[in-house]
Amino acid sequence: MLKISYPHLGDYHIPIRRLLQDLFPMAEIMPAPPFTQKTVELGARHSPDFVCAPFKYNMGNYIESLEAGANVLLQTGLGCRYGYYGEVQEQILRDLGYDFTFLCFSREKASPQNIYKACKKINPDLTFSVFSRVVLQTLLRLYCMDQLEYFLRERIGFAKSPNHFTSAKSSFLKEFLDTCSTPEIWGIYKKYKKYYHSIETHMPSDPLRVGIIGELYTLMEPYSNHFLEKQLAKGGIVVSRKMSASFLLFGKRDTRSLRCSKGYLQYTVGANGVDSVAGSRQYVKTGYDGLIHMKSFGCTPELNAQPALEQISRDYNIPILHLSFDTQTSETGLETRLEAFMDMIEMKRKQRNEKIRQPGSRHRFHLHKRRIY
């Protein structure tokens, strides 16, 4: 029997699971076992030392999936060297003695025609119309999930009952996995959007706000960033992160991002480096109190973007915290840096408010500007 598995990427394993169930009804779909320290150790042990962390996390997921009985593995990637990881990972796994089929949809192999042909080899009954419908439904699912996530990230730290948002989210994801038709998907999204808005919060009128930018895998896989967004929310901070799967699929426009990065970047710097710079500018212009830049250790595109981000931080006098994650990152060290960062943005806010209160202060303009957005 076919047992298809794929690496983790936050909650996106739910729409991917549904997509694979619809494409291959005769197969067993098994997402990789949940992340543990063992996954990370396995991945790191069987990966080249200086490769970036997403490679190692994926390797850990693949090995655990194969050990759990999977015989088909999926990989996809574009943009940077991630697009070349599939071939290397396949070779390492074969050298370890595993026997499996590797479906790699990277670079030019990621075109809809190629993906359809590869799927048809596994499921000869698959028609192009079913394939297109299922893919479009998955895109809609991703869009809906991300829209709710944007809202949840901003509010979750202020919910009156701490588990209200998390339990709403798990029932949303559960119902979402069972949806079959486009109207059903849209209906569930609308239902939960209304519900999320009805959850009571005690949000202050002008809370501290932090914008998160950086490398997509580190942003989207919470295990790889030590659940940083949760930690910020616990500190009573509005968290915004617009870089997500739907941003990558529908929102990424290099020319627009370059326009927004004018004066800081003249050319794109690979992967999502330019989006990090454009995103930071949006955050500073809309009055955010701090920026967190997350990337994997050894990520060249984000390293290229770093000087521009530093310059933005100086020009707009906004604190920025650069965090580089690898499989060895220490949780305690991270907590300490995060606490110091939160103290700093709070202190800066107090200083600014004091200046605003002084008669004739030019900073009144900034207060006005904050409230426009």
**Residues lying near ligand SF4 in the complex (CB under 6 A):** 52, 54, 80-82, 215, 217, 271, 296, 299-301
Separation CA 292–CA 321 (nearest Å): 5
Closest Cα to residue 281, out of 258, 303, 259, 260?
Answer: 260
**β-strands 320-325, 209-214 pairing:** unpaired
Which residue number, 254 or 315, has a Cβ lying nearer to ligand SF4? Answer: 254
Which residue number, 286 or 300, has a Cβ lying nearer to ligand SF4? Answer: 300
Considering the complex, what minimum distance in angstroms separates the CB of residue 79 from ligand SF4? 7
Considering the complex, what minimum distance in angstroms separates the CB of residue 94 from ligand SF4? 22
Helical (H) or strand (E) element with 5: strand 3-5
Which residue number, 179 or 306, has a Cβ lying nearer to ligand SF4? Answer: 306
Which residue number, 109 or 133, has a Cβ lying nearer to ligand SF4? Answer: 109
Which residue number, 245 or 345, has a Cβ lying nearer to ligand SF4? Answer: 245
**β-strands 101-106, 3-5 pairing:** unpaired
Which residue number, 65 or 296, has a Cβ lying nearer to ligand SF4? Answer: 296
Considering the complex, what minimum distance in angstroms separates the CB of residue 306 from ligand SF4? 12
Considering the complex, what minimum distance in angstroms separates the CB of residue 12 from ligand SF4? 15
Which residue number, 201 or 300, has a Cβ lying nearer to ligand SF4? Answer: 300
Tokens (6 digits) for 318:
């906004």
Is the separation of the CB atoms in 57 and 32 below 8 Å?
Answer: no
Separation CA 273–CA 147 (nearest Å): 23
Classify 164 as helix, strand or coil.
Answer: helix
Considering the complex, what minimum distance in angstroms separates the CB of residue 52 from ligand SF4? 3
Q: Which amino acid is at 209?
A: R
Tokens (6 digits) for 134:
């299922």
- The full DSSP string for 219-238 is HH-GGGGTTHHHHHHHTT-E
Considering the complex, what minimum distance in angstroms separates the CB of residue 332 from ligand SF4? 24
Determine the angle formed by the axes of helices 164-178 and 13-23, rounding to 10 degrees.
10
Considering the complex, what minimum distance in angstroms separates the CB of residue 257 from ligand SF4? 15
Closest Cα to residue 151, out of 137, 168, 171, 136?
Answer: 168
Residue 9 has what DSSP assignment? Answer: B
